[in-house]
Amino acid sequence: MGRYIELLQEQICNDFRFLSSRENDFFVFPSDVSAEAEAFKAMFGDDVDRLSQIMQKKVEGRGMEAV
């Protein structure tokens, strides 16, 4: 899972850099930035869900062990 988190962090960092760099593009419109931001949020949200599922499986049953 550690490698997955590293890849996710790298992808998020790269996407933020790309989105930030768009302000320097001459032919970019606000709607372009909005569309890219929405795509980024959708992609990131899916990854967070996937990471949450992985973590839940790893800790499954721990609460019962403590009881």
Average pLDDT, the chain: 83
pLDDT for 16-54, tens place per residue? 898 888 888 888 899 998 998 898 888 888 878 888 888
CA separation, residue 3 to residues 8, 9, 11, 45, 47 (Å): 9, 10, 12, 19, 14
Give the start-to-end residue ranges of the domains of the chain. 2-66
pTM here is 0.58
